[in-house]
Amino acid sequence: MKKLVALIKQKSGFTLLELIIFSAIFSLISVVFVAMLVSITGVQLKQTASSEVNRQSQFVLQTIQRYIEGSSLVETEATSTPLSSISLRMPTGSSGTSSLIQIYWASSTASSTIFLKTGAGEAEALTSSRVKVEDLTFIKYSRPNAHDSVSFTMALSYNGSTSTAKKFFQRLTTTATRVSAATFDTNLLPHPGSSPTPALGVSASKWASINDAIFFPDDDVAFTNAGNVGINTDTPTSKFHVVGDSYFGGVVTITGALTLTNGIKIGTNNDNCDDDTDRGSIRFKQGVSDDELQICMKINSSHVWRSASTTPASL
């Protein structure tokens, strides 16, 4: 009987002290696991935030750099005050774009986004709602005898969490320089409101040539014939100096003396003498034995070539 009572006592369960110790150990382990889960979740959210901000930052950065480098003109004025937008003139047909490109930052209480506007088309968002644009500024630098450059600063933060500890913020500053030369896909016209009317080549840096065909020599570019204009010659010796054949489709009026260094060639054997528009034309006609200088005249209502000589009968 004593043995049975002892066996019952052995299988009666845990004591109160044992239950308290077990509960304490279980609670401690639970707290550790919950802390680990929260930490892992926070790291994942932080990684997601940084990955999203980095991805969109790089996309916007490369897009802005590509357009600045490929532009033919940075239309935004050079100023020391940072601007939240920039206007670029692109060569016609490059990357399927139209001529004018605008990149700007639109911030409001509802959203903060960077937009790209092509010509008169709809603005296209370069950033999504998952990030918030905190800053975007441009500064243009004009360098004489070199291409313009643009310095821009951009700041983005993650917009997917309200917790400050889980937000990710990134600020980038870089500079891009135009690579292509300036081109014009439309007429180069002065602004209608300009007063006085603007002119080309009036600053310290003057135009030296147009397409290396029309030259404007000046002493500051090693030419000694300043003020002269040359066609196919960069050393014109007169106010207007042409090297090569010339063609005039209209009336040429000469008020001063005409000096011919290599003679003059007037007309050919096939020149027309058909109506009043041809009257007074002169041509040199080669003959078998003698040459003739002929004038287109109207005689008896007919237009004919007549030889000019000292013999009255030949007129």
Say whether both 148 and 218 belong to one domain: no
Least confident of 125-129, 168-172, 263-267, 271-275: 263-267
Domain that holds residue 230: 205-255
pLDDT at 259 over 70: yes
Whole-number pLDDT of residue 205: 66
How many other CB atoms are found less than 10 A from the CB of residue 38? 10
Secondary structure class of 239 (helix, strand, coil): coil
In whole angstroms, give the CA distance from residue 177 to residue 184: 19
Whole-number pLDDT of residue 97: 45
The stretch 288-296 carries a mean pLDDT of 80
pTM metric for this prediction:
0.51
CA 125 distance to own-chain centroid = 20
Q: 2 in a domain, yes or no?
A: no
The stretch 186-190 carries a mean pLDDT of 68
Label residue 154 by pLDDT band (50, 70, 90): very high
Whole-number pLDDT of residue 202: 64
Q: 183 in a domain, yes or no?
A: no
Beta bridge partners of 119: none
More confident residue, 190 or 315: 190
Give the model confidence (pLDDT) of 79-116 as tens digits.
Answer: 888 888 999 888 765 444 457 889 998 877 666 899 99
Whole-number pLDDT of residue 95: 47
What is the total count of domains within the chain?
3
Least confident of 25-39, 85-99, 144-158: 85-99
Percent of the chain with pLDDT over 90: 12
Q: 101 in a domain, yes or no?
A: yes
Starting at the edge strand that comes first in sequence, how are the strands of the sheet with 302-307 ordered?
282-285, 292-299, 302-307
Say whether both 164 and 297 belong to one domain: no
What does DSSP assign to residue 77?
Answer: P
In whole angstroms, give the CA distance from residue 37 to residue 48: 16
Whole-number pLDDT of residue 261: 67
Whole-number pLDDT of residue 314: 46
Q: 224 in a domain, yes or no?
A: yes
